C-alpha cells in the first residue's frame, strides 16, 4: 500500500512539474477574439516558428484596462484581435507602438486607411444582431428592423447587449448609435432599450450565444459571431438594423516595452500570413473578413455589400477621450437604471 | 548508569546553533542578489549581492557587519542571558537595516533580502528566548515572529492596501472616489425613480409595525423586559431588509442574496445534519459524498448547468415541460446556484453541532414532560445556536465573495463582488474597486463581530473531517421521511446538474444537438491541458505551505501563551471573514510595485492559494490538536526535547492523518479557487477555473464542460484515494485492539 | 548513582489573569528526599509542580535547582522529568521507543540507548513489554512505563503529578510502595503532587499541605497528622473532630470533661480541640464527655459511632466487638486518648 502511494505521488509530481525542455523562445499574447481562435494560434504558431505562445483571453475593454494597469511592467508582447477602438486608445496612450509589417501592402487598403497607422488591421466585422425567431414568436413579438425597434416594450427581457465597459462590441454599438442619432438622442434610445435588456454580458460573443440557446430573442453582436452560432447548429438567424450599422476593424498591436520584442514581431508577421489568417474560420470559429487581401474570404463571412454600413469614424470614436467619456456616461446614466 | 542527563546546566559555553544561523544569514545576504531585474522571479540583478551593495552603501555594509557580529556572539563563550539580550539587539538592528536597504532601493526583492530578513528574525527569536525576556522555547519564539511577519505581509498589508487605495488617489487623501462610488445608483439606490410611491417610507412603516408586533409577541411568550429591545432589533432588521428589497444596486443585491442564501443553506444544512446523525433510512449513507461536492467543483459550474437544465430553453423546463421561463436567470438563479454550492458547507459545520447535542439531555427533558416544541426552544436551540450562527456566517461570506455565479447567471445585475471585478478588470479603476472591496470587508466583519458577540467566543468545527461516531436518538418517523425526501430531491438535482456537465462534455451542442462527440475533449489540447497542468502545479506548490503555516498558527493560538497572541488570533480570524475577491484585489494593490512586486509571477498565485486555504488549515489544525492531550507535548518537553522536536516527533505523527487530509484538501481547494486569483492570472499562469469561465462565457460551452468534467473527475480521484490512504494512516486505528 | 540535589522556591506567585493560583510559596526539597504537595483540587499544588518543571513561569519569585537559579530556564534544559496523571505515553510509539525518546533527543549512541532502556524496564519490572504499544498495556503497566521513561533520563529531580489517580484502590497501594522503594533506592529528589492524604502520608519524607495557593503546613507525615497547625490541615488529613474547649494550666475542659494535656506553646483561654476518631473511646462508665449515640456504622474491622454531645457531634472509631456494640439512643461517655489529641489556638484558624 505504502509503495503504491509513493508511486502515485511520483506520478503526480512528474505530471505537475514543468517539463524543462520546451522551446526556449516564447511570446505572450493578449488574445481578444473567440477563445477557440486563441487556442488555434497557440497550437499552430509554435509549429510554424518554434516559438512557444502563451495567451490570456480578455475582452478588448478588459485588455485595454490590463495594459493600462501594467504600463510600467508589461507582461504582454502582442495584442491579438478585438475591436479597433481600444487598440487605438492604447496607441494614443503609448501602451502600444505601430509596427509596419512586411506584408503591409498586401492588407486591404480600405482597412489600412481607416486606422491611419495606429494599429495593424487583422480583420473586419459588421455589427448586427442574432435573432431567435422561435422565442420572438412565443412572445408574439415582430422581427426588429431598426435600432429604434429595440425600444419596443414587447421585447421586454428579450435583449442581450454586451457591456461597453468590458466589450468592444458593446462600445461599437454605443458609438454607432451616437454617430447615427447624435449623442443626446442616442442615450435616450439606450435608456429605452435598457428596459428590455435581460443581460449586459461581459463579452461581445455572449449575446449571440444567449440567443442561440433561446435565453433571449435578440442578441447585439458582431454578425460573424452570430454566424458561428448558426454554424454550430443553433436555430437562429442574423441581420443588421436597416437604419445603418457600424463595423469594427479588429486590431493587432505590438505592446510597447513587452518582454519578448523579437518574438512578438515574428508573431505579427506570422499572424498576417494567409496561412495564419485561415485559422480563424477553420479552427477558430471566427468568420470575419481577413485583413490580408491574399487570404480567401470565408464563404460564410458577412460582407459589407449585404448591409447598410455607416462611415464609422474610427479616429474620433477610437480616441481615448471620447471613448472614456461615452463609456462613463453610459455607466452612470444608463446602466444603473431600474428595469 | 554512568551518564546522567542532568548535565547541570552550564552557562559558559558557546551556542553553535546561533553561530550557524548567523553564518547562514551572513553567507546568504552577502552572496545572493538583493534585487531582481523585473517582475520575473529568476532575473537576478548580479551586481546586487550583499558584498556589491556594501561597497556602495553603508547601510548594506551594516547588515553584513551585524550578521558577522551574530556569528561572533554565537561563538563567544559568554553568559547566556546577556548573550540573548545582545542577540535581540543584533537581530532587530539587522532587521531594520535590511528593511531600510530594501525600501530605499525600491527594486523587487531578491533572495538575498529574503534570507537576511528571515535570518535576523531567527536571531531575534532565539535571543528573546535565551535572554529570558520571553519564556518560550527558541523554536517557538522564532515561529511566532515568522507567523507574525507572514500575517502582516500577506493578510494585513493587502487589506490595508484596499482601505487605503479607496481614499488615497493620485498622491492625495480624498473621499471623492468613495463618495462618487457610494452615491452611484449602481452601488445602492433606495427609491425607484420610475414609480410614484416612496418605497423607503413604505418599508419603514411596515418595519416599525413589525417591531411592535415582534416585541408584543415576545412579551406574551414571557420574554420579560428583554422583549422590547429584542423586538425592536428584529423589526429594525426586518425594516432594513424591506428597504433594501425595495431598492436596487449592488449593495442591495449582495446583501439580500447573502441573507437568503445564508438562511436557506443553514436550514437545509441543519436538516441534512439531523439526517446524517439520526436518520434510520438508507439514504443517510449518501450524505458523505454530499460534503465533498462543493470543494471539488468550481462553484459556478453548477450555475451554468442549472441554466442549461432550467433556463428558458433548459432541458427540463423547455424540453420536458414546454415552459419558457427566465426565473433562473438573474438573482434567483444566483441564489439557487449558491444554495446548491454552499449548503454542504453549512452541513459540515452543523454535523458537529448536531452530534454535540447530547441525546441524554433530550431524554432528560422529555422525562420531565417537555413537549417537542418546548424541547426545541429550551434545549436544542441554545445548544445549536453557536453552530447555526457559524454556518450562517460562513455561507454568507462565501455568498458575498462569490463573483462567478453572479457573472454567469446573474443576468448582468450588479453585485458587490462583480463590481469589484468589473472596476478592476473592466474599467481599471483600482480606487473604485477598493471602495467596493472595503464595503464588502466592512459587511463581512460586521457580520463576523455580530456573530461572535451573539454566540460569545470562538467556535471551531473541522470542515475536512470525516463524520463518524455513535448515533443518538432517532428522528421521529414523519420527520425522517420528510427530510430524507428533501435530501433525495436534492441529490437528484445535484446528480442531474453534474450529469448535464458530463453529458455536455461529450455532446455536440447542448440544448440542440445531443449526438455524441469526443471533439471537445480533443480540443482541450493544447490550452486546456496546459492550464490544468499549471493549476495542478501551483496548487501542489501551495499545499505544503498552507498546511505548515495553518498548522503552526493553529498550534500557536491554541497551545502557546505569548504576548500578542490575541492579535495573531484576530488577524488569522480575518482570513475567515475576508471575501476572496477582496483579498484578490488587496494582493493586486499591495504587490504591484516596489520591493514586493509579485504580481504576474507564480509566487503571488501560490500565496493567494495559501491564503485561501488558511481558514481550513487553521481549523483542521485546531480540531486535530483538540484530540491530542497537551500532556504529551509537556512530557516530550520534560524529556529534553525542544518545541521543534516535539512538533516533529510527537504532534505531527499523531496528527498525521489530519495533516495528510489537510494537504489534499489544500490542493483540491486551490484547484477550484476563483475569486482570490482571478485578478492574478497571467498568460503563463492561467488557471483551470478562469479558463472554464471564459470558455463558458465566450460560447465554447462544450469545451468548458469538457474541462470542468476533467477537473471534477481528477479531484474526485484525488479525494477518493485520500480517503483510502488516510484510513490506513490513522495512528490510533493502527495500534488499538491488536493486543 | 546520581547525587540528590536540593530544590528551593522563594516567594513564588503565579497569576492567571486575575486568579492567583499560587501565592508567595516558599518551599525546600532536601536532596534525595520525596516531598509531597497535598491539598484539595485548585489549591495550586499542580501549578507549583509545573513551575518547578519549567512548564509554567512564575509571575514573581525564583526557583533554584541544585543551588542554580533556573527560573528563566526552559523545561527541556532543567534536568527534571515528570510522571503525568494521564501518563502521557506517546500512543504512536512502542514502549521501548517511549522510554528511549529522551535519550534519542540527546542523540546518544544506539547501543547505549538500548542498554539503558533495557535496564530501566527491568527496574520497573516490565522487560517483556518493550515492543508493545501503550494501548496494549494495562493501567498499572502504563504507569510503570511512564515512570521508566522519567527514570531513564537519570533526572536531577523527579516530579509526579497525581500519578496514581487513574488506578484502582488495590493497585494504587502496590504501585505507591514500588515508587517509594525505587525513589529511596535511587536517591532522586522528588516532588509529588496528590490530593489523597493517605498516599501522601505513606510516601513522603515531608508533606506540604496547601490550600488556596498558600502553604498551610510543612512537616513529616507524622507531624502533620499528629500536630496540625490549622483547622484546615486537621480536617484535610485524616478524620478529625474539632471541638470548642478551654485550656488553663495544662488542663483542657469541655462540657465538664477535664483532662490534662502535655503540649507546649498553647495560649490560655478558648481553644479548639482536635481529636482523631480512633482516639475516642466510647465508654459505658460515667467518666468523660457525655453524649447520646445517634448512628452506628458497621465498617468491618471497626465500627464508627456518631455521638451527639453538648459541644457538637463527635465521630468515634471503635474496634469491632460483637458483644459491646453501642446502640442508637444510648447514653454514653467519651474518653480521649492523649496520643490522638491536639489543641489549636482560638477557633483554629477558621
pLDDT digits (tens, 9 = 90+) for B274-287: 888 777 778 777 77
Test the B interface: residue of A75, A155, A267 with most B CBs within 10 Å: A75
Percent of chain C whose pLDDT exceeds 70: 98
Q: Quick check: B617 and B662 in contact, CB under 8 A? A: yes
Three-class DSSP category at A12: helix
How much is the average pLDDT of C53-76?
89
- Per run of 10 residues, the mean pLDDT along chain A (length 339 residues) is 58 55 73 89 92 86 82 87 90 92 92 88 94 89 92 90 87 94 94 89 83 88 91 88 92 92 94 93 90 91 90 88 89 79
C-proximal residues of B, 35-94, CB under 8 Å: 81
Residues of A in contact with B40 (CB under 8 A): 259
pLDDT, residue A1, reads 43
Is pLDDT of B534 > 70?
yes
pLDDT class for C109, splitting at 50, 70, 90? very high
Q: Given an 8 Å threshold on Cβ–Cβ distance, is B527 in contact with A68?
A: no
Measured CA to CA, the distance from residue B574 to residue B444 in angstroms comes to 10
Inter-chain residue contact A338 with B248, CB threshold 8 Å: yes
Query: With pLDDT > 90 as the criterion, what percentage of chain C qualifies?
Result: 50
CA-to-CA distance for A207 and A215, rounded, in angstroms?
9
3-state secondary structure of A133: helix
Interface size between A and B, measured as CB pairs under 8 A: 170
**pLDDT > 70: percent of chain B:** 86
Interface contact A263, partner B, CB < 8 A: no
- pLDDT tens by residue, B54-93: 888 899 999 999 999 999 888 887 777 788 889 999 999 9
Q: Other CB atoms closer than 10 Å to residue C171's CB: what's the count?
A: 15
8 A C-beta contact, residue A36 and residue A281: no
C/A Cβ contact: 3+ pairs below 8 Å: no
C9 has a pLDDT exceeding 80: yes
Are C72 and B132 an interchain contact pair (Cβ–Cβ within 8 Å)?
Answer: yes
Closest partner CB to B249 (pick from A57, A213, A336)? A336
* Res A15: pLDDT: 58
Task: Determine contact, residues C102/B704, Cβ cutoff 8 Å.
Answer: no
Chain B residues close to A209, C-beta within 8 Å: 698-699, 701
Residues of A numbered 50-69 whose beta carbons fall under 8 angstroms of chain B's beta carbons: which are they? 54-58, 61-62, 64-66, 68-69
Report the distance separating Cα B344 and Cα B59, nearest Å: 55
Q: What is the mean pLDDT of residues B3-28?
A: 70
Residues of B in contact with C2 (CB under 8 A): 1, 4, 6
**Residue in B8, B631, B637 closest to C86 by CB:** B631
Residue burial C127-141, b: 16+ Cβ < 10 Å; e: rest: eebbebbbebbeebb
Q: List the grid coordinates of C91.
A: 500512543
Chains in contact with C, where contact means 3 or more Cβ–Cβ distances below 8 Å, are B
The reply to whether residue B634 touches residue C75, judged by beta carbons under 8 angstroms, is yes
Cα→Cα distances B117→B97, B110, B145, Å: 9, 11, 11
What's the helix, strand, coil split of chain B in %, to 5?
A: 75, 5, 25
Position B320 pLDDT exceeds 80: no
With an 8 Å Cβ cutoff, is B600 touching chain A? Answer: yes
pLDDT at residue number B321: 76
pLDDT computed for residue C3 by the predictor: 66
Average pLDDT over chain B, rounded to an integer = 80
- Joined together, the cell numbers standing for residue B609 give 492559494
Residue C348 pLDDT > 70, yes or no?
A: no
Neighbours of chain A (3+ CB pairs under 8 A): B
For the complex shown, is ipTM > 0.95? no
Collapsing DSSP to helix, strand or coil, B168 comes out as: strand
Inter-residue contact A251 to A79 (CB < 8 Å)? yes
CB–CB contact C79 B7 (8 Å): yes
Residue in A174, A172, A171, A170 with CA at minimum distance from that of residue A161: A170
Between CA C197 and CA C220 the distance in angstroms is 13
Q: Residue-wise over B514-547: b if at least 16 C-beta within 10 A, else e?
A: eeeeeebbebbeebbebbbbbbbbbbbbbbebbb
Position B469 confidence tier, pLDDT thresholds 50, 70, 90: very low
pLDDT score at B9: 46
Strands, E assignment, B30-73: none
Subunit partners of chain B (3 or more CB pairs within 8 A): A, C
Q: Are B620 and B295 in contact (CB under 8 A)?
A: no
CA distance linking residue B511 with residue A209, whole number of Å = 12
Asked whether the beta carbons of residue C82 and residue B137 sit closer than 8 angstroms, the reply is no
pLDDT tens digits for range B167-188:
887 778 888 888 888 887 778 7
pLDDT at A254: 96
Q: Which residue has the higher pLDDT, B325 or C141?
A: C141
Q: With an 8 Å Cβ cutoff, are C136 and B642 in contact?
A: no
Q: What is the DSSP string of A146-214?
A: STGGGG-GGGTT-EEEE-TTT-HHHHHHHHHHHHHH-HHHHHHHHHHHHTTEEEEESSSSHHHHHHHHT
Residue B539 grid cell? 496548487
The region of weakest confidence among A18-27, B631-640, B643-652, C2-11 is A18-27
Subunit contact B686:A209, Cβ cutoff 8 A: no
Among B501-510, C156-165, C200-209, the least confident range: B501-510
CA-angle at B630, arms to B629 and B632, nearest 5°: 75
Locate C142 and state its grid cell.
502504563
* Grid coordinates belonging to C302: 471497626
Instruction: Give the position of cell 463527635.
Output: C314
Closest CA to B672 of B542, B585, B583: B542
State pLDDT tens for residues B659-696: 887 888 888 888 988 888 888 887 777 889 888 888 87
Residues B17, B74: Cα–Cα separation, whole Å: 7
Q: Chain B: residue nearest A13 by CA?
A: B537
What is the pLDDT at residue B215?
76
Interface touch A42/B527, C-beta < 8 Å = yes
Q: What is the model's pLDDT at position B206? A: 77
Q: Give per-residue pLDDT as tens, B405-423.
A: 888 887 777 888 888 888 8
Contact C81 B638 (CB under 8 A): yes
B724 contact C CB<8A: no
**pLDDT confidence of B594, banded at 50, 70, 90?**
confident
CA distance B432 to chain A (A): 13
Residue with C-alpha cell 461615452?
A: A326
How much is the pLDDT for A4?
A: 59
Say how far apart CA A248 and CA A127 lie, in whole Å: 7
pLDDT at B520: 86
**DSSP assignment, residue C129?**
G
Hey, are the CB atoms on C75 and B645 less than 8 Å from each other? no
The pLDDT of residue B36: 85
Q: What pLDDT, on the 0 to 100 scale, is given for residue B201?
A: 76
pLDDT at C117 over 80: yes
Question: Do the chains contact at B640 and C102, CB–CB below 8 Å?
Answer: yes
The number of residues in chain B equals: 739
| Per-residue pLDDT at B661 | 79
Amino acid at each position: 500500500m505504502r509503495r503504491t502511494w509513493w508511486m502515485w505521488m511520483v506520478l503526480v509530481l512528474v505530471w505537475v512539474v514543468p517539463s524543462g525542455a520546451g522551446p526556449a523562445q516564447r511570446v505572450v499574447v493578449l488574445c481578444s477574439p473567440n477563445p477557440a481562435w486563441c487556442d488555434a494560434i497557440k497550437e499552430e504558431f509554435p509549429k510554424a516558428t518554434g516559438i512557444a505562445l502563451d495567451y490570456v483571453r480578455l475582452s478588448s475593454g478588459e485588455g485595454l484596462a490590463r495594459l493600462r494597469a501594467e504600463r510600467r511592467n508589461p507582461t504582454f508582447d502582442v495584442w491579438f484581435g478585438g475591436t479597433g477602438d481600444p487598440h487605438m486608445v492604447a496607441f494614443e496612450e503609448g501602451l502600444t507602438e505601430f509596427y509596419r509589417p512586411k506584408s503591409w501592402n498586401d492588407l486591404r487598403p480600405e482597412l489600412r486607411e481607416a486606422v491611419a497607422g495606429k494599429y495593424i488591421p487583422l480583420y473586419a466585422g459588421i455589427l448586427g444582431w442574432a435573432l431567435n425567431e422561435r422565442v420572438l414568436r412565443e412572445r408574439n413579438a415582430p422581427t426588429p428592423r431598426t435600432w429604434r425597434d429595440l425600444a419596443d416594450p414587447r421585447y421586454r427581457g428579450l435583449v442581450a447587449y454586451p457591456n461597453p465597459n468590458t466589450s468592444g462590441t458593446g462600445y461599437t454599438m454605443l458609438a454607432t448609435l451616437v454617430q447615427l442619432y447624435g449623442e443626446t438622442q442616442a442615450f435616450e434610445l439606450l435608456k429605452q432599450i435598457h428596459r428590455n435588456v435581460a443581460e449586459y454580458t461581459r463579452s461581445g460573443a455572449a449575446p449571440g450565444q444567449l440567443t442561440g440557446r433561446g435565453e433571449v430573442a435578440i442578441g447585439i453582436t458582431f454578425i460573424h459571431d452570430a454566424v458561428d452560432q448558426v454554424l454550430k447548429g443553433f436555430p437562429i438567424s442574423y441581420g443588421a438594423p436597416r437604419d445603418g450599422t457600424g463595423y469594427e476593424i479588429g486590431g493587432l498591436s505590438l505592446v510597447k516595452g513587452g518582454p519578448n520584442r523579437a518574438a512578438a514581431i515574428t508573431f505579427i508577421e506570422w499572424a498576417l500570413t494567409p496561412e495564419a489568417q485561415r485559422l480563424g474560420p477553420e479552427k477558430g470559429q471566427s468568420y470575419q473578413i481577413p485583413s490580408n487581401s491574399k487570404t480567401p474570404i470565408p464563404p460564410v463571412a458577412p460582407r459589407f455589400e449585404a448591409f447598410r454600413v455607416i462611415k464609422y469614424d474610427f479616429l474620433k470614436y477610437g480616441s481615448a477621450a471620447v471613448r472614456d467619456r461615452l463609456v462613463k456616461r453610459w455607466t452612470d446614466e444608463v446602466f444603473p437604471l431600474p428595469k | 548508569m554512568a551518564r546522567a542527563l542532568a548535565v547541570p546546566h552550564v552557562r559558559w559555553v558557546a551556542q553553535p546553533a546561533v553561530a550557524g544561523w548567523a553564518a547562514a544569514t551572513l553567507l546568504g545576504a552577502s552572496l545572493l542578489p538583493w534585487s531582481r531585474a523585473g517582475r520575473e522571479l529568476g532575473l537576478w540583478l548580479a551586481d546586487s549581492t550583499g558584498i556589491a551593495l556594501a561597497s556602495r552603501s553603508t547601510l548594506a555594509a551594516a547588515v553584513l557587519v551585524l550578521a558577522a557580529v551574530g556569528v561572533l556572539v554565537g561563538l563567544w563563550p559568554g553568559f547566556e542571558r546577556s548573550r540573548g539580550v545582545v542577540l535581540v539587539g543584533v537581530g532587530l538592528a539587522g532587521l531594520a537595516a535590511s528593511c531600510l536597504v530594501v525600501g530605499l532601493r525600491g527594486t523587487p526583492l531578491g533572495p538575498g533580502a529574503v534570507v537576511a530578513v528571515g535570518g535576523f528574525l531567527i536571531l531575534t527569536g532565539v535571543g528573546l528566548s535565551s535572554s529570558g525576556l520571553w519564556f518560550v522555547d527558541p523554536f517557538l519564539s522564532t515561529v511566532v515572529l515568522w507567523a507574525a511577519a507572514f500575517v502582516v505581509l500577506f493578510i494585513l498589508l493587502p487589506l490595508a492596501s484596499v482601505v487605503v487605495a479607496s481614499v488615497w488617489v493620485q498622491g492625495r487623501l480624498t473621499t471623492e472616489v468613495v463618495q462618487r462610488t457610494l452615491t452611484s445608483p449602481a452601488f445602492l439606490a433606495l427609491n425607484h425613480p420610475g414609480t410614484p410611491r416612496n418605497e423607503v417610507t413604505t418599508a419603514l412603516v411596515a418595519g416599525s409595525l413589525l417591531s411592535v408586533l415582534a416585541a408584543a409577541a415576545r412579551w406574551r411568550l414571557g420574554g420579560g423586559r428583554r422583549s422590547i429591545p429584542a423586538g425592536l432589533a428584529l423589526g429594525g432588521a426586518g425594516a432594513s431588509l424591506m428597504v433594501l428589497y425595495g431598492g436596487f444596486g449592488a449593495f442591495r443585491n449582495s446583501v439580500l442574496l447573502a441573507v437568503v442564501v445564508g438562511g436557506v443553506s443553514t436550514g437545509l444544512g441543519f436538516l441534512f445534519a439531523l439526517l446524517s446523525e439520526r436518520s434510520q433510512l438508507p439514504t443517510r449513507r449518501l450524505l458523505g459524498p454530499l460534503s465533498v461536492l462543493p470543494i471539488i467543483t468550481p462553484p459556478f459550474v453548477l450555475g451554468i448547468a442549472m441554466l442549461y437544465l432550467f433556463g428558458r430553453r433548459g432541458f427540463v423546463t423547455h424540453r420536458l415541460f414546454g415552459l419558457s421561463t427566465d426565473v433562473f436567470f438573474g438573482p434567483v438563479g444566483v441564489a439557487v446556484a449558491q444554495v446548491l454550492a454552499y449548503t454542504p458547507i453549512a452541513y459540515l459545520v452543523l454535523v458537529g453541532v448536531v452530534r454535540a447535542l447530547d441525546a441524554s439531555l433530550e431524554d432528560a427533558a422529555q422525562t420531565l414532560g417537555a413537549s417537542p416544541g418546548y424541547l426545541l426552544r429550551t434545549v436544542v436551540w441554545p445548544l445549536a445556536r453557536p453552530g447555526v450562527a457559524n454556518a450562517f456566517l460562513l455561507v454568507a461570506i462565501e455568498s458575498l465573495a462569490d463573483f462567478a455565479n453572479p457573472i454567469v447567471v446573474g443576468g448582468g445585475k450588479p453585485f458587490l463582488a462583480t463590481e469589484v471585478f468589473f472596476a478592476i478588470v473592466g474599467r481599471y479603476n483600482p480606487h473604485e474597486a477598493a471602495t467596493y472591496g472595503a464595503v464588502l470587508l466592512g459587511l463581512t466583519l460586521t457580520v463576523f463581530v455580530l456573530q461572535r458577540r451573539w454566540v460569545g467566543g470562538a467556535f471551531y468545527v473541522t470542515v475536512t473531517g470525516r463524520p463518524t461516531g455513535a448515533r443518538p436518538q432517532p428522528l421521529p418517523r414523519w420527520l425522517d421521511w420528510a427530510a430524507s425526501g428533501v435530501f433525495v430531491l436534492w441529490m437528484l438535482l445535484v446528480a442531474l446538474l453534474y450529469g448535464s456537465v458530463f453529458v455536455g462534455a461529450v455532446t455536440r451542442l447542448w440544448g440542440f444537438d445531443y449526438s455524441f462527440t469526443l471533439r471537445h475533449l480533443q480540443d482541450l489540447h493544447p490550452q486546456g491541458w496546459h492550464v490544468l497542468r499549471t493549476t495542478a502545479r501551483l496548487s501542489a506548490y501551495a499545499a505544503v505551505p498552507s498546511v505548515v503555516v495553518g498548522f503552526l498558527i493553529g498550534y500557536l493560538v491554541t497551545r502557546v501563551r505569548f504576548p500578542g497572541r490575541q492579535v495573531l488570533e484576530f488577524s488569522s480570524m480575518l482570513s475567515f471573514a475576508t471575501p476572496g475577491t477582496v483579498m484578490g484585489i488587496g494582493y493586486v494593490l499591495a504587490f504591484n510595485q516596489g520591493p514586493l512586486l509579485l504580481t504576474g509571477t507564480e509566487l503571488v498565485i501560490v500565496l493567494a492559494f495559501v491564503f485561501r486555504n488558511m481558514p481550513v488549515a487553521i481549523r483542521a489544525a485546531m480540531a486535530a490538536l483538540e484530540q491530542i492531550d497537551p500532556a504529551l507535548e509537556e512530557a516530550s518537553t520534560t524529556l529534553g526535547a525542544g518545541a521543534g522536536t516535539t512538533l516533529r516527533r510527537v504532534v505531527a505523527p499523531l496528527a498525521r492523518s489530519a495533516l495528510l487530509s489537510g494537504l489534499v484538501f489544500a490542493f483540491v481547494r486551490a484547484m477550484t479557487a476563483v475569486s482570490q486569483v482571478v485578478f492574478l492570472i497571467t498568460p503563463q499562469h492561467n488557471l483551470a477555473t478562469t479558463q472554464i469561465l471564459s470558455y463558458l462565457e465566450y460560447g465554447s460551452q462544450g469545451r468548458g464542460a469538457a474541462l470542468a468534467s476533467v477537473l471534477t473527475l481528477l479531484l474526485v480521484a484525488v479525494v477518493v484515494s485520500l480517503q483510502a490512504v488516510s484510513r490506513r494512516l490513522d495512528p490510533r486505528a493502527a495500534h488499538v485492539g491488536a493486543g | 548513582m546520581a547525587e540528590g540535589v536540593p530544590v528551593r522556591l522563594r516567594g513564588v506567585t503565579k497569576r492567571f489573569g486575575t486568579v492567583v493560583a499560587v501565592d508567595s510559596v516558599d518551599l525546600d526539597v532536601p536532596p534525595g528526599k520525596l516531598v509531597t504537595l497535598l491539598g484539595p483540587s485548585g489549591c495550586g499544588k499542580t501549578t507549583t509542580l509545573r513551575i518547578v518543571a519549567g512548564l509554567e513561569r512564575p509571575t514573581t519569585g525564583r526557583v533554584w535547582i541544585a543551588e542554580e537559579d533556573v527560573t528563566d530556564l526552559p523545561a527541556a534544559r532543567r534536568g527534571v522529568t515528570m510522571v503525568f496523571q494521564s501518563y502521557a505515553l506517546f500512543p504512536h510509539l512502542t514502549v521501548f521507543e517511549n522510554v528511549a525518546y529522551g535519550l534519542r533527543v540527546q542523540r546518544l549512541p544506539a547501543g547505549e540507548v538500548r542498554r539503558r532502556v533495557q535496564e530501566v524496564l527491568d527496574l520497573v519490572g516490565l522487560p517483556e513489554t518493550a515492543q508493545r504499544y501503550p494501548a496494549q498495556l494495562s493501567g498499572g503497566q502504563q504507569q510503570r512505563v511512564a515512570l521508566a521513561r522519567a527514570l531513564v533520563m537519570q533526572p536531577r529531580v523527579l516530579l509526579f503529578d497525581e500519578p496514581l489517580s487513574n488506578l484502582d484502590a488495590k493497585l494504587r497501594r502496590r504501585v505507591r510502595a514500588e515508587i517509594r522503594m525505587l525513589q529511596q533506592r535511587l536517591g532522586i529528589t522528588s516532588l509529588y503532587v496528590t490530593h489523597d492524604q493517605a498516599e501522601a502520608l505513606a510516601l513522603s519524607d515531608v508533606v506540604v499541605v496547601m490550600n488556596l495557593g498558600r502553604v498551610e503546613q510543612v512537616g513529616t507525615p507524622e507531624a502533620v497528622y499528629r500536630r496540625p497547625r490549622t483547622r484546615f490541615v486537621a480536617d484535610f488529613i485524616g478524620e478529625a473532630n474539632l471541638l470548642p474547649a478551654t485550656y488553663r494550666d495544662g488542663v483542657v475542659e469541655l462540657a465538664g470533661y477535664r483532662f490534662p494535656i502535655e503540649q507546649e506553646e498553647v495560649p490560655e483561654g478558648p481553644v479548639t480541640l482536635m481529636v482523631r476518631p480512633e482516639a475516642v473511646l466510647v465508654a459505658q462508665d460515667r467518666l468523660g464527655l457525655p453524649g447520646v449515640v445517634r448512628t452506628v456504622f458497621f465498617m468491618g474491622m471497626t465500627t464508627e459511632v456518631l455521638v451527639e454531645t453538648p459541644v457538637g457531634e463527635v465521630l468515634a472509631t471503635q474496634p469491632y466487638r460483637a458483644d459491646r456494640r453501642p446502640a442508637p439512643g444510648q447514653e454514653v461517655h467519651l474518653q480521649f486518648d492523649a496520643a490522638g489529641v491536639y489543641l489549636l489556638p482560638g477557633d483554629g484558624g477558621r
